[in-house]
Chain A
């Protein structure tokens, strides 16, 4: 018999924990795997029943996602043989590519609006959080509560007033309008989270910088910000995930110029019948930026979430 340790999990406990984690990971990953797989299926495979787990991968979904196509006469098709691999894929259905689809534009909109509002939320949030954390502000607690209270109802509850307001102000279907809207929703979260992180940074660091001859702003910029990186990154990820995935306001307030990817992806379905592979391809690509952003900064995220739980 090996000696028991109180803190160290036994081999069996580790095994059970490992199994549970894997099971949970599998369950949460099935929809993701399904979407990624469907993106590489042919339309027939995508809707076959029983569903095909093993299939011949094709880039058809991705080609359809990025192009607009039209049916052509046999004479035309015979006279114009396909020049590229993607034209060949389309040619199977007697179609030709007439131009790019709107997906690229919508994707770019998502990037501009998502990252723009995240940046703005963090920028304003850090300044506000620092002020709340460090200065004597009259009615500080009430102000903080007021900021939080904007999150006490679902944002969509104010959809109609915002819709009317935006129409009056000319902000409907503009990048600026969407950035402002998402910033407004995110900023309460940002202020509260960041205030927590900044509270954890001892004031002495700034005071040391003040004594060392730096101004209040330099102390903030050179000493507080580097310490708050973890918190800022964690907050930025939360803000980005919200604005990146937001659907309801995007449907309501955007239709063209500033439409983001979430309301656009479902419309792909109608382009050439029920084109599930193209929809899945669109969804797959849409996942990537946030995934890359999160994975790249995951070290900070994990530390950020547990920040303050343990005194260093």
Chain B
């Protein structure tokens, strides 16, 4: 197992820049998520780490060794593909042992390894089956088996749960995480599903348009978004953006929206002009007494909670409240925001303004 360090990694395909100067560090044994919308460069980054694409510039260190220009076969990395990529002309046994055969490992040892892996994954019964007829979950297990059988330095996974149906995905996600914890293997996992990333990851890198937007733990990413993109991408429903024209000074602890003052974490950066107040739906409190008003447009009932959509002077706001709270479309209610987790953004740059809340959370590796 190994630490992976990415330094100023860049990849161009002709005129198109897929990844622009990414840098981050994946600690030994970490379950690391590369998260972003499709086309954001996350898969390209993963493929560069694995050696399936060679970077245009930048360095990749796996276990302290610079491997940027080495072919995949020399990096000692395992890769689980989205479509599994099991060799269709081989049975399960041969698929799993194929990497060991390439190393020239003796038969007896291969069989021992195979037995162990099959036991871990619970696939002893299907070893002699052709891979064609396997269910999605079994294919996934075989693909994992082929990856773990070699004890590689790290695992790369490219949306490995993407091809499974929803019900099964959850179970596989748990299995994957459990497998990771048991083996303590450095794992780099690409997904566009923010829930999957939050659920499984130790650390998350959020990418967009080939740029690393933020790098941190799931809690940091969720509570202290570095950019409006991250704030919008993570969370469902996503963060509310209340746009206002105003100014904040260094040390300020309130902002004024439509005549109402809201407490915010102490600001460490001054800004003025087009600003945005970011509020998570669960931090919106509906109270009759509040001066800031919003008109209820709709309420979606979700069992224990409900999502209330309100129209305010600063745009649409979604609030997550208890399902018991009575809300009727058409009525006007007062809104308050829990102050600890509010983030201010500069609309023009999309960046979060530094405050006591997010100080130190914007590490880019």
Question: Chain A interface (Cβ within 8 Å of chain B)?
Answer: 202, 204-205, 207-216, 218, 223, 226-227
Contacts and interface: CB of A to CB of B under 8 A. Distances in A.
B85 A204 contact: yes
Nearest to A211: B79
Interface stretch (B70-78, B344-352, B355-363): B70-78
A223 B87 contact: yes
B93 interface: no
A212 B89 contact: no
A209 B81 CA distance: 12
Nearest to B13: A136
B262 interface: no
Contact of A210 (B73, B89, B103, B146): B73
A227 B88 CA distance: 8
Contacts of B77: 211
Contacts of B178: none
Contacts of B150: 212
Give the interface residue-count category, chain B.
20 to 34
Nearest to B81: A204
B102 A213 contact: yes
A212 B101 CA distance: 9
Contact of A212 (B52, B71, B146): B146
Interface in B287-334: none
B102 A212 contact: yes
B83 interface: yes
Most A CB contacts (10 A, CB to CB) among B78, B88, B146, B150 go to B88
A207 B73 CA distance: 10
A208 B81 contact: yes
24 contacts: A202-B85, A204-B83, A204-B85, A207-B72, A207-B79, A207-B85, A208-B81, A208-B86, A208-B87, A209-B87, A209-B98, A210-B52, A210-B71, A211-B52, A211-B72, A211-B78, A212-B73, A212-B146, A214-B73, A215-B73, A216-B71, A218-B102, A223-B87, A226-B89
B71 A205 contact: no
Contact of B79 (A202, A208, A214): A208
B103 A213 contact: yes
Contacts of B51: 210-211
Provide the main secondary structure of the chain A interface.
helix
Contacts of A211: 50-52, 72-73, 77-79, 99
Contacts of A209: 87, 98
A210 B85 contact: no
Contacts of A202: 83, 85
Contacts of A215: 71, 73
A295 B50 CA distance: 45
Contact of B73 (A204, A205, A213): A213
A212 B78 CA distance: 7
A216 B52 CA distance: 11
B85 A205 contact: yes
Interface string B3-18: 0000000000000000
Given A210-B52, A210-B72, 5 more contacts: A207-B85, A208-B81, A210-B73, A213-B73, A226-B89
A181 B72 CA distance: 41
A215 B103 CA distance: 12
A223 B146 CA distance: 15
A210 B81 CA distance: 13
B46 to A, nearest CB: 12
Contacts of A226: 89
Interface in B27-86: 50-52, 71-73, 77-79, 81-83, 85-86
A207 B99 CA distance: 12
Given A213-B73, A214-B73, A208 B85 contact: yes
A215 B85 CA distance: 17
A207 B86 CA distance: 11
Contacts of A208: 79, 81, 85-87, 146
Most B CB contacts (10 A, CB to CB) among A211, A214, A216, A223 go to A211
Interface string B256-279: 000000000000000000000000
Nearest to B89: A226
